[in-house]
Structure 1
């Protein structure tokens, strides 16, 4: 494999890996329904990434020791799967192609593969439920702030149990589209826009921190809520800059493999499959920037300058949210000291 092939494969692996890590920020949507968001959400947000990353790395290490990466039962891009599969499942990443299931089958354990299949189904259901929660609450909040009375009175309302049923129903209907494309196209279609969102968040944070440096009297980073309490962010803006650069590169290059297959007429890859992959790779980012540009043109808004930071007021504390999460943690050594640093 030449250098270009190595770079392309690395890029493809990163795209697949990113799709697995998407959604860790969903916990922040619960802020409106959390009793003490400034106390609880920073901890929850950090552990939502630390735990999956740790478990993924350990799981990848163990699976790599047990399953050969050339195992024909594994799912390989552009490689026909085993003919023993149901023809309707060809091209679909099923639980049967999971390296965990393959490793257990190779070990001769009969009951555990079926148990893992059930666990995978349950995990998919919980992921769909989390996505429905986030989308419905986001839609409900947008409807509550809408200028259209009909939208506020329908989607922006809750029932007697304070549940936004209309927003849940509207958010549920587009999810049915997932049953129409069973070959993983939606996975590639989701990754691009979410990378655009992450890049936008990194860019917004970089500008926010730069604004704080220009107007230190507005937000003093040496105040207690920054040094010991709510807004701790280690080694910033390094992570934000790194995230912005990597997300931008991944968005731009995520269709390179399909473009190469199309131009080089790679054997075993049809022209239609290559075109489908290219569309799936760049349709999402195109729609993302199209919506942004359309909004700017219609509402004639401008990018806010750093001068606007002077007119902002950030409260030192919220009276009904006394921060108590550091009690019993400060000054501890060993594992408690490490966890306090993370918190």
Structure 2
């Protein structure tokens, strides 16, 4: 048997649950566990003595509700239609939406049992291998470091839609400073800002869908009824890369799958700040259960309506402007004679891009904090302010925003495709790891004869749904950059952006295993029972029933 020094998860499992109401320190796993029933109900982890649970139910619900709505829906959906056609795009977004719903269910079940900061890296530590927690933690940190400057540059490009007189560096500085302010004080400030951005995004989606339906039915200024005209001409699918026949149509559909993954990236982050969420064992699963409705209501409906009002061969869909002029909603409005829509969409897309950076900074800093708690990063990252914020981790992640200054103005809008591939590849790896860890946890429960009914929440259709997601996302990861292997289509940047994450995650995982000599946690030694006892000894208060007008609230 591997020693507890090399495998902290086993060290935790070897410790018998306390029968006395006295504090128990689990320094091996980077957390402090307490059975004291104090004025912080439903906690049971010493980690919350450093972090403050400032994310309320309405925060986590709205963050989850609008977590998938961003530049991917408003901007990249245009190129998706140009590549896959109306039917190919709707099918691709539907398939990916259903698959990612499974991943969100899986991480919600794990996070309800282990409500700690860092998302999947903490369950990976306890239910798979400390080396996997290390690898995915630093992979997420790397991805965040790439995402932050890119979002700030995207914001600067979006602002140039209104004015080109101010240098991009000014907007990058101002918006980057606001990100730091949002993340350096109470986590509730972050929650309120995301709450407001979520409201704006939802209003824009609903308004755009209504506008699209009106235009399609002939209610625009020009009065021309479209119906399913663009599904017939130029047709339901696109002959991608000029390849004729069903093969070319399939390649276009498969290329859109990557765009859909980019659009849904980070939806699983509802659990990354679990230690700072009020009543996480109730609120995180509640947010996860709304994912399916969210996907159906926002993405599938939006993509369906867009496919009706914009032709797949519209030259505007292939623009690389990076602002509202590339949005299919704007193209539909402009062609129908509605001229006020572009500025409205551009304004909300700006808040979406900034919100994405805000979420990335919170997620990246909490992952870095979680790594430090587990001993996978310098302990200095565990330092928290009097507001309960891991300020060293926040500042360290925020430093990468200066990379945005390296982006030339003329090239800022042309790197969107390359960045989209990079984020999609990192997202594939993240979702695959969530699926792997969950399946190990599931079979650990079976091996230890633990009924999932004992868990705070159990996700539906398991383990079959997670197996389908694991196989699907693995195939998508391996084929994500298929275009570079076609004759005459080789591109070094596309190859690197699609496949760099594969050797990176293996290098981090096996490098840590060799250096620290860790071993996989066996099914028998997983500390599942220990976490269940913590959950049972620290119940969350019952949910207060909705009263008055709140009964009509379907958002949170």
Normalised by the size of structure 1, how large is the TM-score?
Answer: 0.79
Q: Which residue of 2 aligns with 1:112?
A: 341
The Cα shift of 1:40 comes to 1.3
**Partner Cα distance (1:103, 1:112) in 2:** 10
Aligned 1:98-177 pairs, distance under 5 A: 98-146=327-375, 151-152=378-379, 154-177=380-403
2:512 matches 1:295: yes
Distance 1:238 1:18, change over 3 A: same
Residues 1:66 and 1:121: Cα distance change in structure 2 (over 3 Å): same
1:238 maps to 464
Deviation, structure 1 residue 55: 0.6
- Tell me how far 1:100 sits from its aligned partner: 0.7
Are residues 1:265 and 2:488 paired?
Answer: yes
* Alignment partner of 1:248 is 2:481: no
**In 1, are the aligned partners of 2:261 and 2:427 still within 8 Å (CA)?**
no
Matched, 1:324 2:542: yes
Instruction: Find the partner of 1:186 among 419, 437, 441.
Output: 419
Structure 1 stretches lacking a partner, 5+ long = 76-80, 82-90, 329-335
> Residue 92 and residue 189 in structure 1: after superposition, are their counterparts in 2 closer, same or farther (change >3 A)?
farther
2:257 is aligned to: 14
Distance 2:287 2:322 in 1: 31
SS for the counterpart of 2:460 is coil
Query: Are residues 214 and 163 of structure 1, via their aligned partners in 2, closer, same or farther at CA, if it must alter by over 3 Å?
Result: closer
User: Given the alignment of the two structures, is residue 60 of structure 1 paired with residue 282 of structure 2, yes or no?
Assistant: no
- String of CA shifts for 1:168-204, please: whole Å, max 9, x gaps: 1111122443563731222211211221121111111
CA distance in 1, matches of 2:344, 2:381: 40
If asked which structure has higher relative contact order (CA below 8 Å, sep 6+), I would say 2
Q: What SS class does the counterpart of residue 388 from structure 2 fall into?
A: coil
Query: Using the alignment, how far apart are the partners of 2:254 and 2:391 within structure 1?
Result: 41
Q: Give the alignment's Cα RMSD to 1 decimal.
A: 2.6
Distance (whole Å) between structure 2 residues aligned to residue 62 and residue 3 of structure 1? 24
Deviation at 1:94, TM superposition (A): 3.2
Q: Would you say 1:221 and 2:439 are equivalent positions? A: no
Residues 262 and 427, structure 2, Cα contact 8 Å, conserved in 1: no
Point out the more displaced range, 18-27 or 290-299.
290-299
Residues 36, 56 of structure 1: alpha-carbon distance in 2 compared, 3 angstrom cutoff: same
Q: Distance in 1 between matches of 2:505 and 2:323?
A: 30
The CA distance in 1 between the partners of 2:386 and 2:423, in whole Å, is 34
Give the counterpart of 2:290 among 47, 62, 74.
47
Contact 1:157 1:164 in 2 (8 A): yes
Mean CA deviation greater in 131-140 or 172-181: 172-181
The 1-side partners of 2:504 and 2:483 are apart by: 21
Change (3 A) 1:311 1:73: closer
Residue 94 (str. 1) matches residue 312 (str. 2): no
Give 3-state SS (helix, strand or coil) of 2:268's partner: helix
- 1:258: how far off? 1.9
* TM-score normalized by the length of structure 2: 0.50
